[in-house]
Chain A
Amino acid sequence: MQKDTRARLIKDGAIWGFIVLELIFFSVAGHFLSLSENAFMDLENMLLLLKQSAPIGIIALGMTMVMINGNIDLSVGAIFALSAVVMLDSMGWAVFAPLGDWVIPISWALALLTGMALGAINGLIVWKTGVDAFIVTLGSMLGFRGLVFMYNGEQPTFHLNWTMVDMAQASVFGLQTPSLVLIACTAIVWWILNKTIHGRNVYAVGDNREAAVNAGIRVGPHMMINFVIIGFLAALSSVVFYSASGSVNPNDGMLYELWVITAVVLGGTKLTGGKGSVIATFGGVIAIQLLRKGLGHIGADTAMVSLVIGSILIVVLYLDKQLNRKGAEDLKL
């Protein structure tokens, strides 16, 4: 019994332990290998890390909900790109020209609506056809990406508005806009998952769909709402990122779904659903960004970073499997 509790503690705290380990490693290694005179653990560097985590992080919050729900969404990268295209393109529409800079909130709203609409399409298909979400969103991943290319061919969509860039680069107490959005979204999604009926249902449906149906949860619409939420968050992530860069390539956001899923899985959310935590996902996102940044800090190249993150993911899943074995006798650490 006591061993059980200990195992759970190790498991739940694992991601934070991992982060501490990374920090120690990169601080020590950076001391010898980095050319920079600033320490790795420098406050500014950590604030920058939080900001750079935001694009993947915001989407990962939604992915946590969808995965606890027992589904998955592979189309987030394409939604990310399409929302950006809508946002940047709409800023140049003649209809909005008299508005001046007031076009910015309207374009943001259009982008967010795009994300929600695309999420609703995913959710509706999953609900009405009963086809596995993996297949549905694999299809929409390709389909939405096709829309991105149809919109503007292979050309980038571009609109540079310095007011918007200044807003995206603004900061409060050293936290830049993307960091603030990430923190706020984490708090809100945490609240939804832990304090609302919808949130409890997310776990119930993911744990045992049949039991959830028997308990009177309308599983179809319930799942659709979650797809709308992740669509919204993918679009929000896009708004935050592209407000600061002002240009989107049709290939942008490719492989984002995989980075997002990696972060969520690192945070301990089960691929089979029913279990997971948004705070641990936040940890997973930070852990990945720390690895990227830390390996860059000590001078490893880009290919090396992918190799290391991939290896760690497999090790984490292996450890997770070991810790989840029933009975302490199977526990090998």
Chain B
Amino acid sequence: MKIRKTLSATTAVAAMLGAGAAFAQGPYTIGITQNNVGVDSYQTTYEKAFIAAAEKNENVETVVLDAGGDVARQIAQMQDLIQQEVDAIIIWPTNGKAVIPAVREAHQAGIPVVVTNSNIAEEGFDFVSSFSGPDNITQGARAAEIMCDRFKDLGIAGEAQIVEITGQPGYTTAIERSKGFTDRLPEVCPDVTLLESQPGDWSREKSQKVMEAFLVKYDDIDGVYAGDDNMGVGALNAAKAAGRAEDITFVGATNFAVGYEAMERGEYWGSIYQSPVDDAEAALQTAIDVLEGKDVPFLNYFDTPKITQENMDQFTKPVF
């Protein structure tokens, strides 16, 4: 409610300035339905950054919604936004497939849809104006390279055994990162064995339990690839409790503050640097560009570089 009040206030200011504004059209009303804001710090920071970016732009009003991870609620929110006749919809899909019919409804109502962070499945591409987000296949591939380079330095690239903790099943980001990783690993390190993959649902606690099970099941684990740092640190905690963290190379994705700190302590090897602020700002800008009729590439990626203990001084600590 507070957000809405501030937004209405900015809207009023924007309306007053409207006469002198340089923009030909607008103000635009852009609706966003997010995946699950409270669940992790990345999504929480994303929402804050999105609202901040929208407030700075006086030509934009936003309706900020959160599906709470519930597909049914997200579909209902899409229908609500269509009914409210917003100018564009940004969706962070809870499920890359189940939202396709709802996206088609928006498309049929003449409302452009921008997908953010995690893409929907290919069947829905016809109804989407643009995807704004990280290239998760490349992220997975880069994580595989980080892992392999580390094994080569340690001289165990010929026999290393690793486990993988993936994100929430059905979630495109989780599937793509896992695919990027498992496709790239045999190319760079053909002798490394992937013992098992289990989902950690983006949750540190769940991931810790999964890792505890792995540690009981396998006597020799040299590396862990986690779909994000939140889960990576969960796995690290499990290994520390079992006294086996020293022997294991941990590689994550989406560098979180906890991952960055663990890297500073020398317990966690590397990750992929992805800023939710860049992510949110890119999504809003993509939507505005689409509305202004600019030429927007269908896959509008922002860069996400490798970060390891060796080069981490070049990156500021993530705020989330």
Contacts and interface: CB of A to CB of B under 8 A. Distances in A.
Given A35-B8, A245-B101, A52 B76 contact: yes
B297 interface: no
Contacts of B72: 55, 241, 252
Interface in A145-176: 153-156, 158, 160, 165, 168-169
A121 interface: no
Interface residues of B, number: 41
Given A35-B11, A35-B29, A156-B169, A249 B61 contact: no
Most chain A Cβ neighbours within 10 Å, of B67, B68, B72, B105: B72
Interface string A24-43: 00000000011111100010
Given A153-B169, A301-B66, A293 B71 contact: no
Q: Is the interface of B mostly helix, strand, loop or mixed?
A: helix
A247 B1 contact: no
A296 B65 contact: yes
B283 interface: no
B85 A38 contact: yes
A233 B79 CA distance: 24
A208 interface: no
Nearest to B77: A296
A250 B169 contact: yes
Chain A's interface size range is 35 or more
Contacts of A35: 4, 7-8, 11, 29, 61, 63, 84
B123 interface: yes
A299 B1 contact: yes
Given A35-B7, A35-B61, A301-B66, A244 B38 contact: no
A252 B76 contact: no
B85 A249 contact: no
Contacts of A244: 75, 101
A242 B12 CA distance: 42
A263 to B, nearest CB: 15
B218 to A, nearest CB: 20
A158 B97 contact: yes
A303 interface: yes
A48 interface: yes
A44 B83 contact: yes
A38 B81 CA distance: 11
B80 A299 contact: no
B80 A249 contact: no
A221 interface: no
Nearest to A36: B84
A246 interface: yes
A300 B7 contact: no
A158 B4 CA distance: 37
B106 interface: no
A146 to B, nearest CB: 16
Contacts of B104: 165
A302 interface: yes
Most chain B Cβ neighbours within 10 Å, of A33, A241, A301: A301
Contacts of B305: none
Nearest to A159: B97
B265 interface: no
B296 interface: no
Contacts of B199: 154
Interface in A42-76: 42, 44-45, 48, 51-52, 55
Given A55-B72, A247-B95, A296 B101 contact: no
Interface of B: 1, 3-5, 7-8, 11, 29, 37-38, 61, 63, 65-68, 71-73, 75-77, 79-80, 83-85, 95, 97-102, 104-105, 121, 123, 169-170, 199
Given A156-B170, A249-B98, 20 more contacts: A33-B1, A35-B8, A36-B84, A51-B79, A55-B72, A153-B169, A156-B97, A160-B97, A244-B75, A245-B75, A245-B101, A247-B71, A247-B95, A247-B98, A247-B100, A247-B170, A249-B71, A249-B170, A299-B4, A302-B67
Interface of A: 33-38, 42, 44-45, 48, 51-52, 55, 153-156, 158, 160, 165, 168-169, 241, 244-250, 252, 293, 296-303
